[in-house]
Amino acid sequence: MQVIAIANEKGGVAKTTTVISLAGALVQAGYGVLAIDLDAQANLTLGLGLQPARLRRSVADVLLNSAALLSVSRETSVSGLDVVPANADMGLAERFLPVRQNYEYILQNALRDSPGLAAYHYVLLDCPPSLGAVTTNALTAANLVIAPTQPEYFSAYGLRSLMATIRRVRSQSNAALSYYVLITMMDRRNRIHRTLCEQLQVTFGEGLLKTIIEVDTKLRESTVAGMPITHYFPKSRSAMQYTALAQELVNHVQEKAAVEISSQSD
């Protein structure tokens, strides 16, 4: 099972859209996926067809009240894709998590202590647009961080804070954490977008995913419909791009596993 956190301090960079769309692409490829909404705005929960205000239990019960992770999970309309939803109670997590001893490991422990998670190949964590206690929990639990960024100055500049947080988490609670940067909302007709894409390539090199997600109004429509773009409009450009992203990540996981097996045999 691979745990992937989608995180960036900057809002509006398609974090939630990426979680939903990537989940849909992975499910279409035959993988079981659990998406976990860690944002008090609960956009992932809404985007998968649930109403946060009607939920009595959410991921906040896992983080604050030690509830079992799968006891609050819900099925979605997409077979193979389940969600651990969020509601307004998540607003308390950022406030009260830091007063608990070893709070960084709460989500990691919840994942470890859930034997039913064996049904899932991938767990996707939708992080809030901040780098506080909740995001630290997600990064401590994750194998990999995907940092979506628009090819815009403020968005790209905001990656500096996330990279500093990743370094801190590596040194304190999750030494094996790796990351990729994902360019989203790209307009190839925009000269500034093209220039910043080139700069991101120079800055991050192999840390920049080859797949680029372009602007597509169908993505907004799929969110309103409560479905991943891969299921709502499978022939759209963004559906094909998120399918390519899923395959790129699957290849990464397989290559990493092969290296680990090789090192153990040596």
Q: Tell me whether residue 245 is in a domain.
A: yes
Whole-number pLDDT of residue 224: 86
> pTM of this prediction?
0.96
Q: Tell me whether residue 266 is in a domain.
A: no
Assess whether pLDDT exceeds 70 at residue 4. Answer: yes
Q: Tell me whether residue 263 is in a domain.
A: no
Total of domains in the chain: 1
CATH number at residue 64: 3.40.50.300
Q: Tell me whether residue 8 is in a domain.
A: yes
Per residue in 59-79, pLDDT tens?
A: 999 999 999 999 999 999 999
Q: Tell me whether residue 265 is in a domain.
A: no
Assess whether pLDDT exceeds 90 at residue 81. Answer: yes
Domain that holds residue 11: 2-257
Task: Give me the chain's average pLDDT, please.
Answer: 94
Whole-number pLDDT of residue 153: 86
Mean pLDDT of 180-209: 94
Three-class DSSP labels, the chain: CEEEEECCCCCCCCHHHHHHHHHHHHHHCCCCEEEEECCCCCHHHHHCCCCHHHCCCCHHHHHHHCCCHHHCCEECCCCCEEEECCCHHHHHHHHHHHHCCCHHHHHHHHHHCCHHHHHCCEEEEECCCCCCHHHHHHHHHCCEEEEEECCCHHHHHHHHHHHHHHHHHHHHCCCCCEEEEEEEEECCCCHHHHHHHHHHHHHHHHHEEEEEEECCHHHHHHHHHCCCHHHHCCCCHHHHHHHHHHHHHHHHHHHHHHHHHHHHHC
